[in-house]
């Protein structure tokens, strides 16, 4: 395909995975469509297409032919948990009231039989067709596309009831078809609720400096480089750098942590965070969907595309379930010759409940977790976490604070310590490694003036090399400069648990720089928590020297491997996977990106604002808190517990319903009522995930 474009199209009317599958099939058949992913939670289709062959009109027609609509604009929704609980209570009360009315008035008092006798059959048929027309129309469209839906079977049940003259029973079935549609829409909407509440946090307006004046504009009109004014109590609308001002910022929308942070000139700030005290002038660096918050929303919306094996099994089961039910109905008629029992079998079957059992729980967990600063990219990673038995940990910036401080600068070959430090800091000027920042900060504290390196090269896992004043300055570990690392003083510094950097000029060692990092205070407790959760093998992986690694690993009580390059870490992950282990890799997402991507589940620590961390990891923790690691394992296990309960409840419910219907003990009217209830059970069970502590 030439010049493929990626477009997003909103789709309304989808209630379950079966609906999304039908929309996906309809769009995929269009000429010029390379790929399509229909996202139930986000109510949209993400399509890669050739604009020369397919446009929005063709896509709209394909979606409408499948029985759904493409609105001009998506309408965001937001509701509190209290409102959700009230809505669910009202819905339950209405459904049970209708069921009770049918049981008492219809079945026990025999009013349905009286209505059948009083109202002529043609009028009854007309009433049934009028009441069920929207459903019958969609069934006809699906049939023309050779698709079978749950409504197809219920429609056959309605036809069977009409054939034997039971138009009232057919009408009751139609009523519950419509009630069932509402229940499914309510269930799907409730699954989307956490995602939409997250989306509703996005700022809509921004106050921008234009031609010397402050102008309030929609966020979509803000451009990188614009200066944005933020007043007390207002949301920051962009990712940017503070140019002037001072404020305390509530970053809960990004990190899930409501403890405010203080920012001033030079600080980074993020969209959707709240300025509680103080005013700011912020230079916009990223706007709209490119902000950290915008990317979080996108990834959460697209999380359902990464389906776990449980969900794929449920989807496959749904595809075979309806033909099986049709076969059971045929056998029922052949054995009993009872058309009403046959109709009841067709009506009681509820395939949507199987399709909803997994995604409703996954979407609830992923959406609720995102609001707490845990960005989970899909159900497959939650499922993998429940099987995890190996956890690998990066050191610098992950299990340590990542803010090493320089403790010693030892000059060699007669060079002064300040000059050696100046050369090292200049060489490290463009490095992103925490040790490089420590060297630069120490040089600034010594009031040293850094030069501009003529040439800079990063050597992953080893150090950096730069051209300064016509000479080549190399700064790195013992792997890069073994001669300096072999000195007795180097061994002494490493024995103290310090990280050593050697400095060489034109290949000759000129200085040693020692740095010390601090273990995160909550890390030992988090490691103990992981062991309590059943993770038996925890290992520290670091590019640092043997002695420093041993000191940190000793404090954590874990095994370790030292002096590893990034490719060595990947090899460790692969080795465990080859042995059949499910591997979790925890890193800071910068130099650990390849290992995070290779692991079954990669968890990036403190990923707020870090592009590579959010992209490479499967789970991004938006703040640096090690207690979030065992917490996300608990969320995964709880979510999978809810999923299994949903599937088990649905299977038992449908089995009992089919048995009662086939035996003639469940009339079509009550069968229609019964098929509406599994969705509510799934919703009630999954709603527990929205309230996780």
Cα 281–chain centre separation:
32
- Tokens 């060079």 -> residue: 415
> What DSSP designation does 12 have?
B
How is residue 360 written in tokens?
């409703």
How is residue 351 written in tokens?
């395939």
Write down how long the chain is. 693
3-state secondary structure of 235: strand
How is residue 70 written in tokens?
């493409």
Number of C-beta neighbours around residue 65 at 10 A: 15
- Of 1, 11, 77, whose CA–CA distance to 33 is shortest? 1
- Of 360, 376, 312, 368, whose CA–CA distance to 685 is shortest? 360
- Confirm if 265 and 271 have CB atoms less than 8 A apart: no
What is the side-by-side order of every strand in the sheet holding 508-516? Answer: 405-411, 508-516, 499-505, 471-476, 463-468, 455-459
**What is the distance between the alpha carbons of residues 151 and 617, in angstroms, rounded to a whole number?**
41
Number of C-beta neighbours around residue 248 at 10 A: 15
- Confirm if 204 and 102 have CB atoms less than 8 A apart: no
How is residue 401 written in tokens?
């604070």
- Tokens 């759904």 -> residue: 68
Cα 657–chain centre separation:
35
> Could you list the active site residues?
394
Q: In Å, how far are 298, 540, 546, 688 from 564, measured between CA atoms? A: 34, 11, 10, 43
- Confirm if 311 and 362 have CB atoms less than 8 A apart: yes
How is residue 85 written in tokens?
């609980």
Element holding 652 (H helix, E strand): helix 628-662
The radius of gyration of the chain from alpha carbons, rounded to an integer in Å, stands at: 31
């Amino acid at each position: 395909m030439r010049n493929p474009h990626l477009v997003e199209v909103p789709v309304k009317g989808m209630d379950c995975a079966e609906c999304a599958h039908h929309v996906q099939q309809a769009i995929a058949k269009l000429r010029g469509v390379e790929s399509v992913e229909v996202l139930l939670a986000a109510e949209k289709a993400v399509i890669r297409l050739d604009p020369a062959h397919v446009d929005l009109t063709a896509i709209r027609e394909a979606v409408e032919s499948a029985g759904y609509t493409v609105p001009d604009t998506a309408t965001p929704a937001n509701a509190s948990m209290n409102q959700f609980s009230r809505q669910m209570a009202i819905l339950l009360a209405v459904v049970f009231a209708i069921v009770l009315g049918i049981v008492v008035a219809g079945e026990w008092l025999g009013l349905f039989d009286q209505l059948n006798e009083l109202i002529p059959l043609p009028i009854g048929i007309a009433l049934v067709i009028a009441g069920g027309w929207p459903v019958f129309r969609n069934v006809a469209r699906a049939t023309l596309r050779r698709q079978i839906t749950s409504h197809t079977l219920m429609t056959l049940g309605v036809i069977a009831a009409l054939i034997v003259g039971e138009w009232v029973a057919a009408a009751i079935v139609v009523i519950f078809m419509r009630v069932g549609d509402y229940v499914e829409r309510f269930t799907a909407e409730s699954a989307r609720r956490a995602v939409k509440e997250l989306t509703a946090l996005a700022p809509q307006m921004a106050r921008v400096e234009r031609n010397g004046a402050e102008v309030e504009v929609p966020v979509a009109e803000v451009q990188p480089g614009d200066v944005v004014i933020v007043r007390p109590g207002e949301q920051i609308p962009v990712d940017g750098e503070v140019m002037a001002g001072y404020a305390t910022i509530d970053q809960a929308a990004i990190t899930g942590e409501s403890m405010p942070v203080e920012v001033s000139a030079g600080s980074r700030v993020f969209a959707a965070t709240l300025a509680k005290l103080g005013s700011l002038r912020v230079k916009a660096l990223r706007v709209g969907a490119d902000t950290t918050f915008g990317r979080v929303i996108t990834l959460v919306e697209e999380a359902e595309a990464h389906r776990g094996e449980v969900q794929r099994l449920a989807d496959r089961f749904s595809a075979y379930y309806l033909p099986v039910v049709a076969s059971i109905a045929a056998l029922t008629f052949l054995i009993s010759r009872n058309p009403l029992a046959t109709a009841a079998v067709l009506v009681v079957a509820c395939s949507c409940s199987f399709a909803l059992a997994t995604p409703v729980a996954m979407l609830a967990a992923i959406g609720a977790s995102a609001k707490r600063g845990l960005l989970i990219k899909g159900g497959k990673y939650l499922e993998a976490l429940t099987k995890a038995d190996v956890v690998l940990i990066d050191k610098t910036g992950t299990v340590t604070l990542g803010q090493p401080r320089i403790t010693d600068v030892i000059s060699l070959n007669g060079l002064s310590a300040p000059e050696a430090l100046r050369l090292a800091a200049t060489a490290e000027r463009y490095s992103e490694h925490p040790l490089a920042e420590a060297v630069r900060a120490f040089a600034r504290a010594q009031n040293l003036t850094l030069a501009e390196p003529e040439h800079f090269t990063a050597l992953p896992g080893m150090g950096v090399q730069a051209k300064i004043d016509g000479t080549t300055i190399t700064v790195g570990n013992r792997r890069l400069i073994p001669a300096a690392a072999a000195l007795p003083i180097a061994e002494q510094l490493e024995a103290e648990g310090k990280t050593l950097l050697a400095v060489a000029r034109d290949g000759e060692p000129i200085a040693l720089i020692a740095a010390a990092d601090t273990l995160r205070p909550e890390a030992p407790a988090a490691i103990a928590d992981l062991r309590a959760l059943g993770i038996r093998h925890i290992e520290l992986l670091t590019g640092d020297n043997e002695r420093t690694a041993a000191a940190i690993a000793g404090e954590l009580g874990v095994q370790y491997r030292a002096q590893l390059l990034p490719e060595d870490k990947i090899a460790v992950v692969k080795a465990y996977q080859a042995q059949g282990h499910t591997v979790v890799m925890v890193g800071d997402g910068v130099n650990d990106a390849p290992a995070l991507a290779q692991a079954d589940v990669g968890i990036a620590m403190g990923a707020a604002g870090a592009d590579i961390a959010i992209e490479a990891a499967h789970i991004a923790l938006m703040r640096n808190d090690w207690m979030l690691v065992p917490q996300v394992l608990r969320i995964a296990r709880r979510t999978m517990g809810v999923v299994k309960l949903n599937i088990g409840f649905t299977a038992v419910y449908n089995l009992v319903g089919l048995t009662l219907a086939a035996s003639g003990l469940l009339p079509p009217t009550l069968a229609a009522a019964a098929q509406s209830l599994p969705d509510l059970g799934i919703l009630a069970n999954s709603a527990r995930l929205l309230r996780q502590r």
